[in-house]
Amino acid sequence: MAAVLELDDIQAGVLRPRPTPYVATYIAFRIDDRKAGRDLMGRISRVVTSAANPQGPLADTSVSVALTYQGLKALGVPQASLDSFSWEFCQGMAARFKDLGDTGESHPDKWEQPLGSPDLHVVLVAVSRDANTLEAALAPAREAYRGMSGITAIWRQDCYAPPNEKEPFGFKDGISHPAIEGSGIPGTNPHEQPLKAGEFVLGYPDEMGGTQKTEPELLGRNGSYVVFRKLHQRVAEFRKYLMTHSKDAADEELLAAKMMGRWRSGAPLALCPVQDDPALGADSTRNNAFMYEADDPAGLKTPGGSHIRRTNPRDAAIAGVARIHRMIRRGTAYGPLLPEGVLEDDGADRGLMFAFVGAHLGRQFEFVQSQWVNDGVFFGAGEDKDPVIGSDPNGVSFTFPKKPLRRRFQGIPQFVVTRGGEYCFMPGLRALRWLSELET
Ligand code: HEM
């Protein structure tokens, strides 16, 4: 029987789908004084929204809060409790740079400060359908920390999902989401069986039959690991690459679609391999209703190396089991969009605030980033990498299977550069109160 999730104890940021369009703000804090930090947890626990079915004018508005390992430490969480969190979380994202492919220009030494530093303790994320309602939602949160000595706001990032939901390279995003047992929130692929709740929330059985717990159990229960990464996108470079490696405008769009696995409209190659179908792209009942293996085992429609087939191979024959590497994912644009047709970089910082939510940092986020994005062995493509987000100092290779002759691209430049990020834990509401009452 499926576990019933305690939605009123789980933060909205973990499970609740976001409105379209929306704006979001990330605010990071440093805790300089343990008691002030605990006080903040108590105040914030009264402001954060739960994943329980919301009503009223602020129904699609949420405020969520997450802590880093250093943040839990700054609150004085006992060492035995700290040690019960996953070891990747305890190390923090910057320390994991080699496995994540954050080398060269993406190296933590080059990250925007204070990202990746031990000063980053608490991250508040507010999401709403427009700037006015976001301000209304942030007001009580601001009230909670304004004037508190011992707490310093050290970083802020505003971001947005535009009405057409396109990310800065021009592809419709936010289409594919897993279904989660007991959440009442439907997934988007009718061919995918819902995943066990313990894949995403601690304290429930997962796909492997285990249950992630912390010491004490209450601290982890109904919480999730959250990864956020600020990913700069080289939009002009991406456009120029497509143009110089295609025969004409139609071929350029085909190459872009083969690299992503979807046309820019969101229509999947799996369902319309030859030509874009914008009506299909816009139809949320159809645009994610597909699998790969029976129809397209060789990747003649959706290349095995494309971004979406790599990051979720669905039922395709690969080394391993795709279901244990799924994630809840939110991508939110930051910075000004580069106007259509512009091929020269204007120097503006633009890209994606990528967010992952799951119960297993190692076998979900890190595995996908290291084995599926930055390697090709799992589907028999040697050292090929993700042509959209992969990184390689010698350039990425990508194969576009085609009959009679495949097309092969080598030396693809790096289009995405990591500006920073962190591993956080988003506790349940009871756990936030537990943190506020710590007496160590
Ligand atoms: C700037 C960087 C990125 C861009 C521009 C990007 C863009 C996209 C787009 C346009 C889609 C298709 C829309 C959808 O299926 O919802 C997608 C899907 C996806 N992306 Fe990314 N992405 C980026 C980074 C990442 C990273 C870092 C990961 C994980 C390590 C990731 C994992 C996924 C997954 C799991 C899917 C859904 C695949 C599916 O279920 O078919 N993406 N991405």
Q: What is the structure's pLDDT at 42?
A: 95
Question: Which of 238, 354, 375 most suits a substitution to test ligand 1, by most atoms within 8 Å of the C-beta?
Answer: 354
Confidence check: pLDDT of 302 > 70: yes
**Is the whole-model pTM more than 0.95?**
yes
Taking the C-alpha atoms of residue 109 and residue 112, their distance in angstroms, rounded to an integer, is 9
Ligand 1 binding pocket includes 169 (Cβ within 6 Å): yes
80 burial class (0-12, 13-18, 19+ CB within 10 angstroms)?
exposed
pLDDT of residue 251 exceeding 90:
yes
Is residue 421 within 8 Å of residue 438, measured between CB atoms?
A: no
CA-nearest of 69, 66, 65, 93 to 81 is: 69
User: By the 8 A CB rule, do 66 and 123 touch?
Assistant: yes
Residue 125 beta carbon below 6 angstroms from any ligand 1 atom: no
Question: How many residues are listed for the chain in this entry?
Answer: 440
Q: In this predicted structure, what is the pLDDT of residue 245?
A: 97
Atom from ligand 1 closest to the CA of residue 188? 40
Q: Residue 76: which residues within 8 A CB-CB, separation 6 or more?
A: 34, 38, 438, 440
| 175 pocket-lining for ligand 1 (C-beta < 6 Å) | yes
Does residue 368 have its Cβ closer than 6 Å to ligand 1? yes
| pLDDT reported for residue 319 | 85
**What number does the ligand 1 atom closest to the CA of 175 have?**
16
* Token digits of residue 214: 């912390």
Q: Whose CA is nearest to atom 23 of ligand 1?
A: 389
* Token reading at 104: 């060269």
Work out which ligand 1 atom sits closest to the CA atom of 389: 2
Average pLDDT on 406-427 reads 97
What pLDDT was estimated at residue 145? 85
What is the CA(349)–ligand 1 centre distance, in A? 20
Percent of the chain with pLDDT strictly greater than 90: 87
Judge if the beta carbon of residue 307 lies within 6 A of ligand 1. yes
Rounded Cα distance, 398 and 342, in Å: 25
How many A from CA of 269 to the centre of ligand 1? Answer: 15
Cβ 352 under 6 angstroms from ligand 1: yes
Tell me if 327 CB under 6 Å of ligand 1.
Answer: yes
pLDDT over threshold 90, residue 367: yes
Our answer on whether the CB atom of 102 is closer than 6 Å to any ligand 1 atom is: no
- 235 contact partners, CB below 8 Å, separation of at least 6: 168, 169, 338, 345, 350
Over residues 29-85, the pLDDT tens digits come to: 999 999 999 999 999 999 999 999 667 767 888 999 999 999 999 999 999 999 999
pLDDT of residue 2: 74
CA 259 to chain centre: 19
**C-alpha of residue 330 to centroid of ligand 1, in Å:** 9
- Residue 188 Cα to ligand 1 middle (Å): 15
pLDDT band at residue 147 using 50, 70 and 90 as cut-offs: confident
- Ligand 1 pocket check: which of 232, 269, 308, 423 to mutate, most ligand atoms within 8 Å of Cβ? 308
Q: What is the pLDDT of residue 320?
A: 86
Give the pLDDT score at 17: 84
Burial environment of residue 228 by CB neighbours within 10 A (0 to 12, 13 to 18, 19 or more):
buried
Ligand 1, atom 32, lies closest to the CA of 311
CA dist list (Å): 80 to 93, 387, 431: 21, 42, 16
Task: Provide the 3-class DSSP secondary structure of residue 104.
Answer: helix
CA distance 200 to 358: 4
Residue 318's pLDDT is 86
Q: How far does residue 346's CA lie from ligand 1's centre (Å)? A: 25
> The tokens of 258 are what?
């083969």
The enclosing H or E element of 368 equals none
Q: What is the pLDDT of residues 189-223, one digit of tens each?
A: 999 999 999 999 999 999 999 999 999 999 999 99
Q: How many CB atoms lie within 10 A of CB 279?
A: 11
> Is residue 329 in contact with ligand 1, taking CB distance under 6 Å?
yes
The predicted structure's pLDDT at residue 57:
67
The answer, yes or no, to whether residue 407 has pLDDT greater than 80, is yes
Is ligand 1 within 6 A of the CB of residue 267? no
pLDDT level of residue 184 (50, 70, 90 thresholds): confident
Residue 139: Cβ within 10 Å count: 12
**Ligand 1 contact via 124 beta carbon (within 6 Å):** no
The pLDDT of residue 28: 97
Sign of the CA dihedral with 311 first, then 314, 316, and 320 last: positive
Residue 295 to residues 55, 263, 313: CA-CA distances in angstroms?
42, 19, 13
State whether the beta carbon of 173 lies less than 6 angstroms from ligand 1.
yes
Q: Does 165 contact ligand 1 (Cβ within 6 A)? A: no
* Cα 128 to ligand 1 centroid, rounded to whole Å: 22
Mean pLDDT over 11-19 rounds to: 89
Q: Which atom of ligand 1 is nearest to the CA of 189?
A: 40
Tell me how far the alpha carbon of residue 148 lies from the centroid of ligand 1, in angstroms.
Answer: 38
pLDDT by residue (tens digit) across 327-357?
999 999 999 999 999 999 999 999 999 999 9
- For residue 422, the 8-state DSSP code is E
Q: What is the mean pLDDT of the chain?
A: 95
| Mean pLDDT computed over 402-421 | 96
Q: How far apart are CA 365 and CA 325, in angstroms?
A: 7
Nearest-Å Rg of the Cα atoms of the chain is 21
Closest CA to 389 of 407, 370, 406: 370
Kindly tell me if the per-residue pLDDT of 181 is higher than 90: yes
Q: Which residues pair with 64 in a beta bridge?
A: 125
401-421: average pLDDT: 96
Q: How far is the CA of 388 from the centre of ligand 1 (A)?
A: 9
Whether residue 155 has its Cβ less than 6 Å from ligand 1: no
